[in-house]
Amino acid sequence: MPVYSSPGIYVEEVSGGSRPIESVGTSTAGFVGAAPLADARRNEAVAVNSWSEFVRVFVGDATTSTPLSRAVYGFFDNGGGRCYVVNIAPGEPLAGKGRQRSGLRLLEAIDEVAIVAAPGYTDALSYEDLLSHCELMGDRMAILDGPEHTGDVERLTRVGGATPAKPPAKKGPADGDAAPAEDNSGLRPRQSDYGTFYVPWLVVRDPLTGEVVNTPPSGHVAGVWARTDTLRGVHKAPANEPVRGAVDLSYRVTKVEQDVLNPAGVNCIRHFPAEGIRIWGARTLAAAGSEWRYLNVRRLFNMLKESIGDGTRWIVFEPNDTLLWKSIRRDVSAFLTRVWRDGALQGRSPQEAFFVKCDEETNPADVRDAGQVVTMIGIAPVKPAEFVIFKISQSAGAGGDQAGA
């Protein structure tokens, strides 16, 4: 308390107490793979802000191209603004070897990363590395590439595994030839709330060689995510969006085939005669009945969790009393109101869109004695209009009555 020793007017600055919570970024990608210049910044997480910067650092005078280089080009071409690139040796595991800190482990220290991909890595072990990384971090999503040749739709709905050692060939009963082993392997990654799976590969013009080649879609898809985040917000499903730079698809998925793939969490990239090549799916690899089956809902909650966590760090070691609870309710409610105004939450009013509860009920004496302050937050996210249904029937004379109204 200031000491006033003489008569006069004293003007003091008084804190309003409000601490705005800011939304964290959602469009920074992390790419792991082999760069054209094999030894360029090997096993480092390098921030890249443009295609020309990637060429300067990871291409140089190299004359070859890789899935990583095409993915980074597709990311920037489709609206991405910033990414981290980790250059690993060809054939090296994505998560490194033993205690080696390389690949995906380097991205663990970069809180900015919200999207992770390893272009062209389509084996079960790589899928597991990517999904495990995102599940561990809890603040990012993995984009997994489907196999280059995706004609076997049924196999894409079944979870695959690591290739086991082959048993000795069995002799045929009649002619002594080896009997062909039955192929029961699947191509789909396992279930996960933090992963997405896209097919087929894209046909693009390579930015380094000029050749028309097949390329994995993860880099282009990451760019579409970033573009949608910028133009509409993370709550908008990044689907029904054009894929820039794609001139064709390695396999044209039909509607009948997508009817089988979509419920299994396989996001298809489709070709439409009038609209061109578009992403036509927005599901995660979560179970069909999971509350996290929609990609935009999962990414929205990732953003909310991290934003609230970062914006309320000042709470730690504050006196755990009613004044603190009121401050928490005020700051979190103000943040969620802005999110609601951006169209990310359902409801005609903030009261319908969310609630924030932090009081004596959530913080009884035993909770306070344990040094905890508990806040309950409920949110109603918007869901994508995945199935648009028009019901049309005949009604004699109805058209004329409505026309004259």
Q: What is the pLDDT of residues 8-41, one digit of tens each?
A: 787 777 666 678 899 999 999 999 999 999 999 9
Work out the pLDDT band at 178, boundaries 50, 70, 90.
very low
Kindly report, residue by residue over 111-146, the tens digit of the pLDDT.
Answer: 999 999 999 999 999 999 999 999 999 999 999 999
- Residue 99 or 166, more confident: 99
Contact 220, 145 (CB under 8 A): no
Nearest to residue 39, comparing CAs of 16, 57, 14, 19? 57
Work out the pLDDT band at 206, boundaries 50, 70, 90.
very high
Which pLDDT does position 291 carry in this prediction? 93
Tokens 């991205």 — which residue?
Answer: 107
State how far the Cα of 139 lies from the Cα of 141, in Å rounded to an integer. 7
pLDDT at 385 exceeding the cut of 60: yes
Q: What are the structural domain ranges in the chain?
A: 29-163+185-297, 312-399
- What distance lies between CA 152 and its chain's CA centroid? 26
pLDDT at 165 exceeding the cut of 80: no
Gyration radius of the chain over CA positions: 26
pLDDT at 247 exceeding the cut of 60: yes
Kindly report, residue by residue over 284-311, the tens digit of the pLDDT.
Answer: 999 988 999 999 999 999 999 999 999 9
The fold of the 29-163+185-297 domain, in CATH, is: Rossmann fold (3.40.50)
CA angle 302, 189, 240 (to 5 degrees): 60
